[in-house]
Amino acid sequence: MRTMILSAILAFAASSASAEVSVRIAYLEHQVKHPPTLSNLDPLPEDLGQAGAELGLVENQASGRFLGQAYTLSVRSVPPDEDFLAAGREVLSETRLLVVKAPAEELLALADLPEAAGALIFNSSAQDTRLRDADCRANLLHSIPSYAMRADALAQFMSKKRWSVWALVVGTHPGDLAFAEALRAAARKFGLRISDEKTWAFGADMRRNAAQEVPPFTQSLKAHDVLVVADEIGDFGRYLLYNTWLPRPVAGSEGVAPMAWSGAVEQWGAAQLQGRFYARTGRKMRAEDYAAWAAVRSIGEAVTRSGADEPDALRDYILSDAFELAGFKGRPLSYRQWNGQLRQPIPLVQPRALVAQAPLDGFLHQHTELDTLGLDAPECNCRAFLE
């Protein structure tokens, strides 16, 4: 009996010595049914996003062990037909620090739960600009760039290249429509012109037909410098390249693509992050992996620098001027105080190389050029961050 008490005391002493601060993070995902795509070449990884969160955890732990800070990550993945909010309530009863991969509507419902008051939720997948605008929430930060940030990045690149007249081809999925809307706004913002627009609604299997179908499809488009495509699920865009009627570059969801992250990014020490990710997963790191990684690392960085572990204090630190995250994009990342969006450069990539990185030189801003991408304070209708 005595031995038992003694060992219990010892165990307690050991744990308190090794971890003065204990941070529990939950990764919560609502799986979605993905629509079919024409090509079978690029199946979506099952651990998309989650693998990034797990790498972020390992990095937090590496810093934490020198500082007496312990981190854990619990993963809850909810099947498409099951109740996401019920799972969300359970997770919120265990921790107040969440990284969430779910569609916009469900993110909002989660953030609006009474149980979520005072929690800190990171959106690592939903790009809907409205979540950073009128539909923002004080307890919801965004580590994934919005459609608007990506579209602005592309428009800056096009402007620099003087490819100032676009033809736009848009798919029929909600993400395609949302990205297309952001592209139109970006063209207006940067003084570019969309000469023509077409919807891609083919039923044919382009794997065999692209060389026959795409030239006439693009033949009727009015004069343009570049063909911009909104095909966010990767359905048809790949078949447009080199099959256009006119010899024109393709950009947008395919071709030169503005992405939060891609396996082609190797600059600014990124080869290190890519190497660590590949060693763990056997695949390349994608945008949603990067966003989940950045969310978990943001928590880690805030804990390391502030010594706090409560969501309120961490949120205050993350939204303060003192916060900076080294995100392998060549300059420190921080959060916009008016809508909780992670400020970040946007790589413009083709599959095998980085083409450019926005913000491009020459697009100036009175505070930081990073705010030339996406919603800047004066144009943002978010009120939840005003306090």
Partner 1 sequence: MLRITIQLLTLAALAGPAGAAEVWITNEKDNTISVIDSESLEVVRTLPTGERPRGITFSKDYSRVYICASDSDTVQVMDPETGEILHNLPSGEDPEQFVLHPDDRHLYIANEDDAVATVVDTESRRVVAQIDVGIEPEGMAVSPDGKLIITTSETTNMAHWIDTQTHRVVANTLVDARPRHAEFTKDGSKLWVSAEIGGTISVFRVADHSEITKIGFSIRGIRDDAIQPVGFEFSPDGRRAFVALGPANHIAVVDTETYEVEKYILVGRRVWHMEFSPDKARLFVTNGVSGDVTVIDTARLTPIKTVKVGRFPWGAAARP
Q: Minimal distance in Å, beta carbon 65 to partner 1?
A: 9
Q: Minimal distance in Å, beta carbon 265 to partner 1?
A: 16
Specify the residue, 80 or 330, whose C-beta has the smaller distance to partner 1: 330
Tokens, residue 355: 């083409």
Specify the residue, 35 or 275, whose C-beta has the smaller distance to partner 1: 275
- C-alpha angle 310/313/319, rounded to 5°? 130
Distance CA 54, CA 1 (A): 40
Distance CA 302, CA 308 (A): 8
Distance CA 128, CA 151 (A): 12
Q: Minimal distance in Å, beta carbon 325 to partner 1?
A: 7
Tokens, residue 55: 């790498």
Nearest CA-CA partner of 200 in 154, 239, 166, 165: 239
Q: Minimal distance in Å, beta carbon 63 to partner 1?
A: 4
Q: Minimal distance in Å, beta carbon 339 to partner 1?
A: 21
Nearest CA-CA partner of 153 in 377, 374, 379, 326: 374
Cβ(287)–Cβ(259) below 8 Å: yes
Q: Minimal distance in Å, beta carbon 234 to partner 1?
A: 31
Specify the residue, 112 or 324, whose C-beta has the smaller distance to partner 1: 324
Specify the residue, 118 or 275, whose C-beta has the smaller distance to partner 1: 275
Alpha carbons within 13 angstroms on the beta-carbon side of residue 185 total 19
Alpha carbons within 13 angstroms on the beta-carbon side of residue 149 total 31
Whole-angstrom distance between the N-terminal and C-terminal Cα of the chain? Answer: 55
Phi, psi (degrees; rounded to nearest 5) at 150: -65, -45
Distance CA 134, CA 198 (A): 29
Classify the C-alpha dihedral 271-277-95-106 as positive or negative: positive
Nearest CA-CA partner of 119 in 139, 104, 136, 138: 139
Residues in contact with partner 1 by CB under 8 A are: 59, 62-63, 66-67, 269, 272, 275-276, 304-305, 324-326, 330-332, 368-369
DSSP class of residue 114 equals G
Q: Minimal distance in Å, beta carbon 372 to partner 1?
A: 12
Cβ(322)–Cβ(308) below 8 Å: no
Specify the residue, 149 or 240, whose C-beta has the smaller distance to partner 1: 149
Q: What single letter denotes the amino acid at residue 11?
A: A
Specify the residue, 59 or 181, whose C-beta has the smaller distance to partner 1: 59
Specify the residue, 17 or 41, whose C-beta has the smaller distance to partner 1: 17
Tokens, residue 268: 């600014």
Q: Minimal distance in Å, beta carbon 268 to partner 1?
A: 9
Tokens, residue 349: 């990539």
Phi, psi (degrees; rounded to nearest 5) at 302: -65, -40
Specify the residue, 6 or 62, whose C-beta has the smaller distance to partner 1: 62
Q: Minimal distance in Å, beta carbon 326 to partner 1?
A: 4
Specify the residue, 275 or 351, whose C-beta has the smaller distance to partner 1: 275
Specify the residue, 82 or 324, whose C-beta has the smaller distance to partner 1: 324
Q: Minimal distance in Å, beta carbon 18 to partner 1?
A: 14
